[in-house]
Structures are given as structure tokens and as C-alpha cells.
């Protein structure tokens, strides 16, 4: 099944957090928070400005993004849990291969 977001919406797959802390402590499932990092799976054509022209989105498929804790709407497509959110809910794009947890 294919999914095409409308306007300035994007489809994001959450990237699961590590099972251990840097010190080696294993985190149980009940104590884990939902990850706030994900990979963009699909992007809509963009929002329209006041004159009616389409503004291209800043994110593209494959980008790793950070988003707010309560951002987006959770959906299940093809047996996979994904998020649909507006591009404005994205806080930033992670550049390079360094993870957000290592950068902080």
C-alpha cells in the first residue's frame, strides 16, 4: 500500500531508542519514553501561501528529524506504526550519521 500525505503533512517512522544507557543499565519497557526521533517516509507537496502558490517542504524522504513529544497523529499502515504530522511540528533535521543522544 502507498500513502501520499496532503499539503504540508509528512509521514514519519519512529526510530527506537537504545535498550541501555551509556553506563550499561538496561531500561525496562515500562520506563521507556516514546522516541522523539524519526525517519521521514513520505512528504506532501507543500503548503500554499496567500497567493495560492505551493511552497516546497524543507524535509525530504529519508531525513532523520526531531519532533515534539506530543506531535502528530499515530496511525497503523501496512502493519507498521507511523506518525502523520505537519511539517511545522518538526523541530529540526539531524545532519550526518551522529545520533541526537550522542550530540547532546
Quick one: how far is CA 21 from the chain centroid?
A: 22
Q: How far is CA 68 from CA 2, 25, 28, 71, 82, in A?
A: 26, 26, 23, 5, 15
Examine residue 38 and state whether it is found in any structural domain, yes or no.
Answer: yes
Examine residue 45 and state whether it is found in any structural domain, yes or no.
Answer: yes
Q: Does the structure show a pLDDT above 80 at 33?
A: no
Q: What is the CATH number of the domain that holds 62?
A: 2.30.33.40
Examine residue 4 and state whether it is found in any structural domain, yes or no.
Answer: no
Element (H, E) at 103: helix 100-103
Residue 26's pLDDT is 72
Domain span including residue 67 = 9-96
Examine residue 102 and state whether it is found in any structural domain, yes or no.
Answer: no
Model pTM above 0.85: no
Examine residue 40 and state whether it is found in any structural domain, yes or no.
Answer: yes
The tens digit of pLDDT for each residue in 45-91 reads: 988 888 989 898 899 999 999 998 888 899 998 888 899 999 999 99
Residue 21 or residue 97, greater confidence: 21
Residue 97 or residue 19, greater confidence: 19
Examine residue 103 and state whether it is found in any structural domain, yes or no.
Answer: no
Count: domains in the chain: 1
Amino acid at each position: 500500500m502507498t500513502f501520499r500525505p496532503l499539503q504540508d503533512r509528512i509521514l514519519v517512522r519512529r526510530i527506537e531508542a537504545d535498550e541501555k544507557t551509556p553506563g550499561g543499565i538496561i531500561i525496562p519497557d515500562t520506563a521507556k519514553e516514546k522516541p522523539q526521533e524519526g525517519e521521514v517516509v513520505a512528504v506532501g507537496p507543500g503548503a500554499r501561501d496567500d497567493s495560492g502558490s505551493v511552497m516546497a517542504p524543507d524535509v525530504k524522504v529519508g531525513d532523520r528529524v526531531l519532533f515534539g513529544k506530543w506531535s502528530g497523529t499515530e496511525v497503523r499502515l501496512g502493519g507498521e506504526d507511523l506518525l502523520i504530522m505537519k511539517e511545522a511540528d518538526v523541530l529540526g533535521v539531524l545532519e550526518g550519521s551522529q545520533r541526537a543522544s550522542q550530540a547532546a
